[in-house]
């Protein structure tokens, strides 16, 4: 985006306030990459949109809070404590706090990530 991003006092990106948006259009695919865009940042959590190229992913890690993943388009593999979960458009999973998890693109896919502290 050419427009500068400014955070409001409510922790929402200014260019997103009081406007209708297609969530999946807030992040674009890039070859051989994972693209993320944080759209809400608050002390109690964040909301981000991700676009994964096929075969790309996020390596195993833990987080101190629960993470809800909602698939906007495409297909993904979400691993929680090594156990694979296949997700497709319209499906979601909650990755529990303090448990190792990873994400891998089975095809190009986009997801909404909601972190709740």
Q: Is residue 111 a part of any domain in this protein?
A: yes
The label of the residue with tokens 């759209």 reads 39
Do residues 7 and 47 make contact, with C-beta atoms less than 8 angstroms apart? Answer: no
Could you give the angle at the alpha carbon of 66 between the alpha carbons of 23 and 28, nearest 5°? 25
Q: What number of CA atoms fall less than 13 Å from residue 23's CA on the CB side?
A: 19
pLDDT for position 9:
52
CATH of the domain at 104: 2.60.120.10
Residue ranges in the chain modelled with pLDDT below 70: 1-13
The domain tally of the chain equals 1
Q: Is residue 2 a part of any domain in this protein?
A: no
Q: Is residue 4 a part of any domain in this protein?
A: no
**Which residues span the domain enclosing 59?**
14-116
Considering the entire predicted model, what is its pTM?
Answer: 0.87
Pick from 43, 99, 48, 92: which is nearest to 69 by CA?
92
Residues 6+ apart with CB under 8 A from 86: 75, 76, 77, 106
pLDDT for position 3:
41
Q: Is residue 3 a part of any domain in this protein?
A: no
Q: Is residue 81 a part of any domain in this protein?
A: yes
Could you give the angle at the alpha carbon of 29 between the alpha carbons of 96 and 26, nearest 5°? 70
């Amino acid at each position: 985006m050419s427009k500068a991003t400014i955070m409001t006092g409510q922790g929402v990106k200014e260019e997103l306030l009081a406007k209708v948006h297609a969530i999946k259009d807030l992040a674009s695919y890039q070859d051989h990459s994972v693209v993320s865009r944080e759209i809400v940042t608050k002390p109690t959590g964040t909301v981000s949109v991700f676009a994964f190229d096929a075969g790309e992913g996020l390596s195993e890690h833990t987080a101190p809070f629960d993470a809800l993943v909602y698939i906007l388009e495409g297909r993904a593999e979400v691993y929680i404590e090594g156990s694979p979960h296949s997700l497709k458009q319209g499906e979601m999973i909650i990755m529990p706090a303090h448990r190792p998890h990873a994400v891998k693109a089975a095809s190009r896919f986009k997801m909404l990530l909601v972190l709740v502290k």
